[in-house]
Structures are given as C-alpha cells and as structure tokens.
C-alpha cells in the first residue's frame, strides 16, 4: 500500500540517481551529436563551422572505417565463439565431480579479474614475443619457426588475448546456471534410457539458453568497445590491421584532435551498440516480470 | 538415489580439469614467477621455471623508479571513492524502487540499464572537453566522477535485486510491535540489507579498479591509476619484463583475491540479476 506520502518520499529518494544519470547521458551525447555536424579541430581553435553531414561522409568513406568496422565485427564474433563455446565446455567439465574442484574453479575464473592493460602486456611480451616469448620457445622446441604474433597476425593475437579474459566470464555464468539444473529431471531421463547427448540437447541446453543469451549480449556490449588491449599491444597496426571502431575514434579524437570526425564516429558506435542493447534490455525486462 | 560415478571417470575428469585449469591460469602464474627473477633470467632461453635465484629487487625497484605507491593510492582513491559516492546515491533509489514500486519503476530500471550500454567512445570528446575546460584533466576528482556515473546503473540494479528479497511483511510486523521509522531501519532492515550492500561494494571496487578506457584517456602522470600506469610499460626502452611483472603482480593480486571471494555476487551483478 503505497500512500501519497510514501510515494513522494520514494520519488525524492530516486531523484538523485535519475537526475545524475539523465545528465550524464543527455549532456555529453547531445554535445557529441552537435559536434558531429561541425568542422571542429582542436588544433584550429575558433574555426568551428557547420558542415552538415560532411563528417559522417568523411568518416564512413575513409577506408580506415571499413577496415575498423570489419575488424570490430570479426573481433566480437570470434571472441564470442571462443568464449561461449569454450566457456560452455569448461562449465560442463567443472560441473562434474572431481578432486580439487573448488581450486580449479578459482584458477579458471582468475583471468577475468586481471586488468586489461596487464593481460595485454603479459601476453604481448612474455608469451607472444618472437624471440624471448614462451610461445617462441615452445615453437622452437617442436621444431617450428617462431611466429611474430603481433605483427604477422595482429587481429588474431588480440582475439586470443581478449578471449582469455572473457572465457572465464562465460564459464562462471554458465556454471552458475548449470548448478541450478534440476538433478531429478536428469535422473528421470537417465532412467528412461536417454543417452548423455540427448540429455544434453533436450534438458541441459534449453535450461542454459537464457544464461547463454545473457552472456552473448553482455559480452557483445563490452567487446564492441575493446580498447586498452589494442592500445598497449599493436596500437591498431600494422596499418589498420587491428584497429577497431573504438580505437579508430580514439585516434581521430585524441591523436588528430578532429572533434567533429570523432564525434560522427562516436554516434555511429552508439547506434551500433544500441542495436545490441535493445535485445538485451528486452531480455532482462522479461526476467523482471517473474 | 545418488548418481554413481566410476572412479576411472572421476580420475580422468580430475586430470583433464586440472590441466585445462592450469593452462588458463598459466599467464598469471608466469607473471608472478617472472616478478621474482632478474631481468636477465626473465628473458632467458630456455626459460627457467622454478630454479632461478629468487629475488625481491624488482618490487623495490618498481617503487624507486616510478613512485609506484602513488598509483596504488590513486587506484584506491578512485575505486573506493566512487564506490562510496555511488552507494550514497544508489541506496535510496534502489530502496525506493524495491519497497514502494510504482508503474514506472520497471521503466526507470530499464532506462538506467540502457545508459550502461552507451559506448564510452561515443561520449569521449565531450567528457574530455568538459573536464579540460573545468581544469579537471588528470585529477582524481574527474575519475571518481566518471567511475561513479559509469557504475551507478549496476549499483542501483544490484542493490535493487537484493532489497527486493527482503520480505516486506517483516516491516509490517515491526510496525505492529510499535517500532518507529528509525528503529525499523536500524534494527530490522539494516541487518538484512548489509550483505547485499557489501557485495555491491565489492563488485563496484573490482570494476572501478580494472577500468581502463577512461583511466587511459583522462589521466596522465599525476592521477593515473594502476591500469594506466601499467600501460606505460608498453613502450619500454629495453626489456623490463621482471619489473613489468612485479608491477603487474601487485596491481592484480588484491583484486584477484577479492574476486575469488565474491564469485556468486559477481555473477548476479554482471548479469543484472538475470542469472543468480
């Protein structure tokens, strides 16, 4: 029974959060939108002028944009496949009874807590370095030519690093969901003679479908804006081979000081992210009903 | 009927799980080991795994060369500061939404969530320019503000899902027994809300500690937290792997331990309550 009095108190209690978030969202976003229609470079102060859709045209027709868009999509898709696929297998494995389960679980989720700059630099130097890296040592050990990961396969290297960070996340979420699976239903199916594969397809997978969807959507949101890992390893290179949309906009903004162009790119990134966000919000909203 | 598992199968799973677990953990283990080597041993070929002269000198040298402690203090100030301010703003909101929900509550929650999905790069330029004009670039205040706002939706959401689990009946009961609003809060609600608030804080500290985009773009030498400081090792003159490892080990150890303790809450917070 919410009376009029408690309702106004409730509104008062909510207002700081609502007002601050509204300001945090609306002010910068409308500024970005406004800048995106200006010719505005920090190196030429006082020269701002309205240019309509020029920035968008410039940004979208730049070959770097196409490269960055493709890289962004490849990065997101590859990491999703590796982390969700690997995470699912990992969760199924960790759900089995075995010795030291608790400890292995801790080992597996650990990479998720490592800050992005550290994971990127550790992989870049100590693992992927073509001369002193551990991968090079292993390659020489089995008689192969060591690979200079970051310059010959820059995007793949970044995919590996980012997957290493996100596979634990998927494994952790899916394991949690797996543990809420009804044991009795499984046993009943087992007694009815359903094979392990059939039990997986007909009971486990449907049970996990919601968790898998949540993992995919949340990871997509974070993966669309991978930044630090690229900055400290390849700096987007060689050329634009490992530049994603976030990194491209960053170079436009803080290296070339082109506020207008970067803002147009920012708006494009916002639109791209929103497409994903709509699905995610619907999904979570559905859960809220129950 | 308990499901029976053959010993053989259990042994096989044990071996497989440990091998994969150790492989996944290996880069972290390797970083910790390398931090105790000399620079020469860090790049030795073949690499030395355990049998090297263990040394602590990297840890002292990292501090001497770069005032490491300053960046630790920055990280602590940013993650704890933003958590504290976020808590003050988020608790009342989550409380109101959980205990006196209206028709619009769900819409507001969804909208808050949607702000979290705004890519940072979409507002990089305005935020950068605003802070520049306010003279707040490379200051702790700027990062505390940004981190508070970035994580506020998660805090409200997580607190909301915890508060909703507190049975409203218990309030009625307390009221019947003649408890005033103050007593209600102090003796009845607070004890039940504390665990949820604590987990929310924990998650927020972890997220703020590891945040890299804003830390890298809004700070330089003086306000740089550890994420940004470690990035400065990306273009070393020469190879400083042992020192990089020592700096990294210290930067990730506290959060790794916190994260290990809060796995469950983390699942809940990061999926906005969709998976518990």
Decide if A267 touches B, using CB distance below 8 A.
Answer: yes
Residue B45 has pLDDT above 80, yes or no: no
**Alpha-helical segments (H) within B36-67:** 39-42, 57-66
* Predicted local distance difference test score (pLDDT) of residue A57: 86
Asked if the structure places residue A46 within a domain, the reply is: no
Contact state of B27 with A176 under an 8 Å Cβ cutoff? no
Which residues contact residue B235 at a Cβ distance below 8 angstroms, ignoring those fewer than 6 apart? none
* CA atoms of A168 and A161, how far apart (whole Å): 12
The answer to whether residue A49 is domain-embedded is no
| Cβ-nearest to A288 among B106, B210, B267 | B106
Tokens linked to B21: 């677990």
Confirm if A115 and B212 have CB atoms less than 8 A apart. Answer: yes
Token pair recorded at residue A32: 């970005």
Q: What is the Cα–Cα distance from A208 to A274, expressed in whole angstroms?
A: 25
Cα atoms found within 13 Å of the Cα of residue A157, Cβ hemisphere only: 32
Question: What separation, in Å, do the N-terminal and C-terminal C-alpha atoms of chain A show?
Answer: 20
Q: Is A51 helix (H, G, I), strand (E, B) or coil?
A: coil
Residue A39 in domain: no
Distance from CA of B12 to the nearest CA of A (A): 9
Question: A49 has which bridge partners?
Answer: A39
Q: Is residue A156 part of a domain?
A: yes
Question: Residue A218: its pLDDT value, please?
Answer: 84
Indicate the residue of A98, A173, A254 with minimum beta-carbon distance to B10.
A98
Chains A, B: CB contacts within 8 A come to: 311
Domains in chain B: boundaries: 7-59, 68-270
| Beta bridge partners of residue A41, listed in sequence order | A258
The domain that holds A120 is classified in CATH as 1.10.3720.10
What is the model's pLDDT at position A116?
93
pLDDT above 80: residue B172:
no
Distance CA B131, CA B123 (A): 12
Running DSSP on this structure, what letter comes out for residue A237?
-
CATH 1.10.3720.10 fits B68-270, yes or no: yes
- Cβ-contact B120, A222 below 8 angstroms: no
- Work out how many domains chain A is built from and give that number: 1
Full pLDDT tens readout for chain A, 290 residues? 445 567 788 888 888 999 999 999 899 999 999 888 888 888 877 777 888 888 888 888 888 888 999 999 999 999 999 999 999 999 999 998 889 888 999 999 999 999 999 999 999 988 888 888 889 888 888 888 888 888 889 999 999 999 999 999 999 999 999 988 877 888 888 888 888 888 888 888 888 888 888 888 888 888 988 999 999 988 887 888 999 889 998 988 888 888 888 899 999 989 988 888 888 778 777 766 54
Is the minimum CB–CB distance between B8 and chain A shorter than 8 Å?
A: no
pLDDT at residue B14, as a whole number: 92
Window A:7-36, CB contacts with B under 8 Å? 7, 9-11, 13-14, 16-18, 20-21, 24-25, 27-29, 31-32, 35
pLDDT value of residue A2: 47
- Measured in angstroms, the CA of B59 and the nearest CA of chain A are apart by 16
CA distance A31 to chain B (A): 6
Closest CA to A120 of A95, A154, A93: A154
Residue B275 with chain A: CB contacts under 8 Å: 173, 176-177, 210-211, 214
Q: Does A39 touch chain B (CB under 8 A)?
A: no
Which residues, listed in sequence order, are joined to residue A39 by a DSSP beta bridge? Answer: A49
Tell me the shortest Cα–Cα distance from B152 to chain A, in angstroms.
8
Tell me what percent of the residues of chain B surpass a pLDDT of 70: 96
- pLDDT at position A288 is 61
A-chain residues within 8 Å CB-CB of B123? 28-29, 31-32, 266
Q: Which domain holds residue A154?
A: 62-289
Residues in chain B, how many?
276
Contact B275 A225 (CB under 8 A): no
* Residue A33 covered by a domain: no
Radius of gyration of chain B (CA): 24
Across-strand partners of B129? none
Q: Does residue A73 fall inside a structural domain? A: yes
Residue A125 covered by a domain: yes
Please indicate if any CB of chain B lies within 8 Å of the CB of A168.
Answer: yes
Does some domain include residue A102? yes
In degrees, rounded to 5, the angle at the alpha carbon of residue A269 between the alpha carbons of residues A268 and A271 is 65
Distance in angstroms (rounded) separating the CA atoms of residues A250 and B64: 32
Find the helix packing angle between A54-61 and A63-94, rounded to 10°: 70
**pLDDT (mean) for B168-186:** 76
């Amino acid at each position: 029974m919410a009376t009029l009095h408690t309702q106004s108190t409730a509104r008062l209690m909510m207002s700081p959060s609502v007002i601050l978030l509204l300001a945090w969202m609306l002010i910068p976003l409308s500024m970005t939108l406004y800048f995106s229609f200006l010719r505005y470079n920090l190196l030429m102060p006082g020269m701002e002028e309205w240019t309509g859709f020029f920035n968008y045209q410039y940004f979208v027709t730049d070959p770097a944009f196409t490269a960055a868009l493709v890289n962004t999509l490849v990065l997101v898709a590859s990491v999703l496949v590796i982390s969700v696929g690997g995470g699912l297998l990992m969760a199924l494995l960790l759900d089995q009874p075995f010795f030291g389960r608790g400890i292995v679980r801790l080992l597996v989720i650990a990479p998720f807590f490592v800050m992005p700059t550290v994971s990127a630099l550790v992989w870049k130097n100590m693992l992927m370095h073509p001369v002193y890296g551990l991968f090079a040592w292993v390659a020489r050990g089995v008689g192969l030519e060591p690979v200079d990961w970051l310059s010959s396969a820059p995007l793949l290297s970044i995919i590996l690093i980012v997957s290493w960070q996100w596979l634990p996340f998927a494994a952790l979420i899916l394991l949690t969901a797996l543990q809420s699976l009804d044991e009795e239903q499984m046993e009943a199916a087992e007694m009815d003679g359903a094979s392990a594969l059939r039990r997986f397809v007909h009971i486990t997978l449907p049970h996990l479908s919601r968790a898998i969807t949540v993992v995919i959507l949340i990871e997509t949101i974070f993966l669309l804006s991978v930044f630090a890992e690229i900055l400290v390893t390849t700096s987007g290179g060689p050329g634009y081979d490992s530049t994603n949309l976030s990194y491209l906009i960053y170079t436009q903004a803080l290296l070339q000081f082109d506020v207008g162009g970067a803002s147009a790119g920012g708006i494009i990134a916002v639109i791209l992210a929103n497409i994903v966000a709509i699905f995610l919000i619907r999904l979570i909203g559905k859960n809220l009903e129950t | 009927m308990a499901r029976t598992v053959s010993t053989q199968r259990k042994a096989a799973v044990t071996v497989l799980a440990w091998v994969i677990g150790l492989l996944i953990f290996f880069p972290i283990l390797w970083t910790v080991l390398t931090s105790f080597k000399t620079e020469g041993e860090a790049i030795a070929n073949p690499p030395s795994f355990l049998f090297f002269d263990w040394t602590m000198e990297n840890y002292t040298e990292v501090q001497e060369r770069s005032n490491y402690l300053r960046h630790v203090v920055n990280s602590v100030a940013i993650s704890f500061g933003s958590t504290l301010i976020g808590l003050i703003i988020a608790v009342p909101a989550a409380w109101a939404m959980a205990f006196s929900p209206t028709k619009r509550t769900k819409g507001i929650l969804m909208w808050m969530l949607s702000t979290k999905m705004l890519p940072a790069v979409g507002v990089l330029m305005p935020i950068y320019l605003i802070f520049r004009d306010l003279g707040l670039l490379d200051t702790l205040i700027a990062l505390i503000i940004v981190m508070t706002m970035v994580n506020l939706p998660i805090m409200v959401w997580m607190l909301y899902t915890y508060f909703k689990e507190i049975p409203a009946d218990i309030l009625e009961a307390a009221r019947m027994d003649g408890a005033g609003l103050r007593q209600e809060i102090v003796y009845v609600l607070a004890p039940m809300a504390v665990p949820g608030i604590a987990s929310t804080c924990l998650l927020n500290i972890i997220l703020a500690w590891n945040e890299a985009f804003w830390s890298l773009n809004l700070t330089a030498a003086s306000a740089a937290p550890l994420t940004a400081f470690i990035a400065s090792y990306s273009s070393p003159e020469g190879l400083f792997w042992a020192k990089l490892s020592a700096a990294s080990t210290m930067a990730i150890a506290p959060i790794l331990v916190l994260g290990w303790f809060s796995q469950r809450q983390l699942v809940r917070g990061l999926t906005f309550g969709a998976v518990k």
